[in-house]
Amino acid sequence: MILLSTTPYSFENTFTAFKLAEAALDQGNQVTLFASGDAVHNFTVNQNPKGILNPEAKFGELIARGMRVDLCGTCLQFRGVKSEHRAEGASPSSLKNLFNLMDDANVFVNLGF
């Protein structure tokens, strides 16, 4: 279980989250990433960064491998991220669900708060 709460390009947290999730999937673990706050921008479509990690593409690879991605619904609403702007496989969720995910997790990593 990874909680990510920072923007895609302001910190190295996005890259760290990607590499941790990739390593966990490589070892056969189930991985859930919950994006809160500005981290929901890691899962918006049509990003085109130059020379750095493209979070939409890289997380898309992990979603295709089975990683679950939940996005804070209130955070999406506050930031005006509509359903057509969300990356495929990233679903709106809630803080109540975040608590349940944390409660069920064997390992919890917090990147951002």
How does residue 53 score in pLDDT terms, banded at 50, 70 and 90? confident
Task: Give the integer Cα–Cα distance in Å for 69 and 88.
Answer: 10
Residue 103 has pLDDT above 80, yes or no: yes
Q: Which amino acid is at 25?
A: L
In this predicted model, which residue has the larger pLDDT, 95 or 51?
A: 95
Model confidence, pTM: 0.94
Residue 47 has pLDDT above 80, yes or no: yes
Topology of domain 2-111, per CATH?
Hypothetical Protein Ychn; Chain: A, (3.40.1260)
Domain boundaries, the chain: 2-111
How does residue 52 score in pLDDT terms, banded at 50, 70 and 90? confident
Residue 15 has pLDDT above 90, yes or no: yes
Residue 113 has pLDDT above 80, yes or no: no
pLDDT of residue 50: 87
Task: Give the integer Cα–Cα distance in Å for 33 and 30.
Answer: 10
Task: Give the integer Cα–Cα distance in Å for 64 and 82.
Answer: 22
Residue 11 has pLDDT above 90, yes or no: no
Average pLDDT over residues 76-82: 96
Parallel/antiparallel/unpaired status of strands 90-93 and 32-35: unpaired
